[in-house]
């Protein structure tokens, strides 16, 4: 067996093992990210003896993985969920990040005797919540949508300002009076680039007649990656551009949207698995015990002091209830992002960055294990657990170009208030009709007196002009029942 064959076989075996680890982590109540790190360490110098210490390559692959994870996060985030939490998420991603850096840096300067620049760099590296950890844990946790939306928005956006802060601090150049203006420029231009490419990509994909369905997901991901490259090329935030491009595309009426989201979800899982296994492979277990004390000190500062105070500073002016503030304080999950940021500092030659990488690795394992496992218990203790919180309604669409119509495929989740609703009670707008119902694998043409059930799949044919009204009406009934009003997805 030559080297290429061995690499392909080993990669496939690791991927299959990581996929099986998802089932194991679900049964044990552990975040799957920890098992991915363990797999990487087992095939590394600690287990099979494979040595891997290429920091620049690890950092570059880490950035590529984060781009794909952010693209998947944006594509699979419903605007209707994060819109009520928009102010919370932006405040957490900006004000809370700045406060977290300052508080953590100040505390570590006093407790660990670090110089100010090093202490602030530690604070910046540790201040970013991880999109992969947040998306994988919170989307399985039944909490009020506004809380989940705020945390998803924070984890999708805060990589951008934190990356800028790490690069500035690791460069070693003195901070000038115009440094905040530079940060503002990078964030603003990154947001504009991401939104512009997202809208342009959605417009083009709706009008493109691609020869194969599988090309639409590839083109969508390519737009998100292009947003990152364009943002970086303009010396702006490529991470923010990626997330916003994905958010715009994921909430646009794209052809074969369901296929695109499924592909993005699979690609996101692949990026998470590859990234965490790679980071586990890079870690050196022999060095980790030597940084246990500073890691525990930094973790205590972060969990007990910096994160709660930064959340209060960011959200108290918005009059967020204290229960939600406590939950948001405990939900600052760390993952691959801090490790990648520490590797960036290492590749830029910052003194002591190698120790920081080891500290962050230990800290991520500890915090992800403790916070990820206890988050459902904290939600129950605060009275925020919502067992009745159902899944969002899945609506896929395909254009019928020559007929100026669209075909909607609706999957009724469990639970849903569409259950038990008579077809005539949907009161779809003129030009929209349910043409087929698939129940238990068998399809039939429904009558007005047909009652919908959880697990049904519906085919809705609608004119292009009434497509939005039809989807809003179905979503309204899904969330609030047959008496939902016509306007708004919430039925309010």
Q: So what's the pLDDT on residue 489?
A: 47
Choice between 210 and 115, residue whose per-residue pLDDT is larger: 115
Q: So what's the pLDDT on residue 143?
A: 78
Q: Count other C-beta atoms under 10 Å from residue 233's C-beta.
A: 10
What is the three-state SS of the chain? CCHHHHHHHHHHHHHHHHHHHHHHHHHHCCCHHHHHHHHHHHHCCCCCCCCCCCHHHHHHHHHHHHHHHHHHHHHCCCHHHHHHHHHHHHHHHHHHHHHHHHHHHHHHHHHCCCCHHHHHHHHHHHHCCCHHHHHHHHCCCCCCHHHHHHHHHHHHHCHHHHHHHHHHHHHCCCCCCCHHHHHHHHHHHHHHHHHHHHHHHHHHHHHCCCCCCCHHHHHHHHHHHHHHHHHHHCCCCHHHHHHHHHHHHHCCCCCCHHHHHHHHHHHHHHHHHHHHHHHHHHCCCCCHHHHHHHHHHHHHHHHHHHHHHHHHHHHHHHCCCHHHHHHHHHCCCCCHHHHHHHHHHHHCCCCCHHHHHHHHHHHHHHHHHHHHHHHHHHHHHCCCCCCCCCCCCEEEEEEEHHHCEEEEEEECCCCCCCCCCEHHHHCCCCCEEEEEEEECCEEECCCCCCECCCCCEEEEEEEHHHHHHHHHHHHHHHHHCCCCCCCCCCCC
Q: So what's the pLDDT on residue 140?
A: 64
Q: Which value, to the nearest 10 degrees, does the dihedral of the CA atoms of residues 188, 199, 239, 160 take?
A: 30
Choice between 179 and 140, residue whose per-residue pLDDT is larger: 179
Residue 15 to residues 54, 63, 179, 458: CA-CA distances in angstroms?
21, 20, 43, 35
Selection from 59, 73, 56, 58 nearest residue 129 by Cα: 73
Contact present, 417 and 479 (Cβ < 8 Å): yes
The CATH T-level fold of domain 394-480 is: Alpha-Beta Plaits (3.30.70)
pLDDT tens-digit readout, 397-441 = 666 656 778 888 888 888 888 888 898 888 898 888 999 999 988
Q: Where are the domains of the chain?
A: 10-381, 394-480
- Kindly give, in sequence order, each residue whose CB lies less than 8 Å from that of residue 182, ignoring residues fewer than 6 positions away: none
Q: CA angle at residue 206 from 222 to 237, to 5 degrees?
A: 35
pLDDT tens-digit readout, 14-60 = 778 777 776 666 665 566 777 888 888 888 777 777 777 788 888 88
The percent of residues above 70 in pLDDT, for the chain, comes to 89
**With 60 as the cut, is the pLDDT of residue 486 above it?**
no
Give mean pLDDT, residues 355-375. 85
**With 80 as the cut, is the pLDDT of residue 73 above it?**
yes
pLDDT tens-digit readout, 447-474 = 988 999 988 999 999 888 888 888 888 8
- Which of 192-201, 359-368, 369-378, 392-401 is least confident? 392-401
Q: So what's the pLDDT on residue 492?
A: 41
pLDDT tens-digit readout, 115-160 = 999 999 999 999 888 776 676 666 667 778 788 888 888 888 888 8
Considering the segment(s) 10-381 as one domain, its CATH architecture is Up-down Bundle (1.20)
**With 90 as the cut, is the pLDDT of residue 195 above it?**
yes
Q: Count other C-beta atoms under 10 Å from residue 221's C-beta.
A: 21
**With 50 as the cut, is the pLDDT of residue 62 above it?**
yes
Q: So what's the pLDDT on residue 491?
A: 42
Q: So what's the pLDDT on residue 488?
A: 46
- Helix 131-138 and helix 55-75: axis angle, to 10°? 40
Model confidence at 487, pLDDT cuts 50, 70, 90, reads very low
- Which of 17-26, 205-214, 224-233, 330-339 is least confident? 17-26
**With 70 as the cut, is the pLDDT of residue 386 above it?**
no
pLDDT tens-digit readout, 265-322 = 888 888 888 888 888 888 888 788 888 999 999 999 999 999 999 999 999 889 888 8
Cα torsion 420, 252, 78, 274: sign: positive
Q: CA angle at residue 53 from 268 to 342, to 5 degrees?
A: 60
Which conformational region is residue 440 in: left (phi greater than 0), alpha (psi within -120 to 50 degrees), or beta? left
Q: So what's the pLDDT on residue 163?
A: 87
Global pTM reads: 0.79
**With 70 as the cut, is the pLDDT of residue 485 above it?**
no
How confident is the prediction for the chain on average, in pLDDT? 84
Residue with tokens 């246990």: 292
């Amino acid at each position: 067996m030559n080297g290429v064959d061995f690499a392909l076989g080993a990669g496939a075996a690791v991927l299959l093992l990581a996929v099986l680890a998802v089932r194991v982590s679900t049964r044990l109540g552990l975040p799957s990210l920890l098992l991915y790190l363990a797999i990487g360490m087992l095939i590394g110098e600690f287990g099979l003896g494979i040595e891997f210490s290429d920091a620049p390559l690890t950092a570059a692959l880490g950035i590529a993985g984060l781009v794909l994870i952010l693209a998947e996060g944006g594509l699979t985030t419903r605007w209707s969920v994060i819109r009520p939490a928009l102010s919370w998420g932006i405040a957490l991603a900006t004000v809370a990040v700045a406060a977290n850096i300052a508080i953590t840096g100040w505390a570590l300067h006093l407790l660990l005797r670090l110089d100010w620049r090093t202490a602030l760099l530690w604070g910046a590296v540790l201040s970013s919540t991880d999109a992969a950890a947040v998306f994988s844990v919170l989307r399985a946790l039944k909490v009020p949508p506004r809380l989940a939306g705020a945390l998803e928005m924070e984890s999708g956006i805060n990589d951008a300002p934190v990356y800028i802060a790490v690069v500035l601090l690791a460069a070693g150049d003195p901070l000038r009076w115009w440094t905040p203006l530079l940060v503002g420029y990078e964030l603003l231009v990154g947001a504009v680039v991401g939104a512009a490419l997202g809208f342009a990509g959605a417009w083009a994909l709706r009008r493109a007649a691609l020869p194969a369905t599988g090309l639409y997901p590839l083109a969508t991901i390519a737009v998100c990656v292009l947003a990152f490259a364009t943002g970086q090329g303009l010396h702006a935030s490529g991470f923010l551009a990626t997330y916003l491009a994905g958010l715009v595309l994921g909430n646009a009426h794209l052809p074969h949207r369901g296929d695109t989201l499924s592909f993005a979800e699979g690609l996101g899982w692949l990026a998470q698995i590859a990234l965490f296994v790679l980071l586990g492979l890079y870690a050196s277990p022999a060095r980790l015990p030597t940084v246990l004390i500073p890691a525990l000190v930094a973790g205590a500062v972060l969990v007990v002091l910096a994160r709660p105070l930064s959340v209060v500073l960011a959200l108290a002016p918005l009059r967020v209830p204290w229960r939600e503030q406590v939950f948001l304080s405990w939900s600052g999950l760390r993952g691959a992002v801090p490790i990648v940021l520490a590797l960036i500092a290492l590749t830029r030659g910052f003194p002591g960055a190698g120790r920081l990488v080891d500290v962050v690795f230990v800290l991520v394992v500890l915090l992800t294990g403790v916070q990820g496992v206890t988050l459902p218990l904290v939600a129950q203790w605060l009275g925020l657990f919502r067992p009745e919180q159902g899944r969002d309604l899945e609506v896929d669409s395909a254009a019928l170009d020559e007929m100026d119509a669209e075909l909607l495929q609706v999957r009724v989740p469990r639970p849903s208030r569409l259950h038990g609703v008579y077809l005539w009670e949907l009161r779809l707008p003129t030009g929209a009709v349910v043409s087929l119902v698939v129940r238990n694998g068998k399809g039939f043409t429904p009558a007005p007196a047909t009652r919908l059930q959880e697990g049904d799949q519906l085919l809705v044919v609608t004119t292009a002009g009434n497509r939005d009204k039809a989807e809003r009406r179905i979503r309204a009934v899904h969330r609030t029942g047959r008496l939902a009003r016509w306007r708004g997805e919430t039925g309010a």
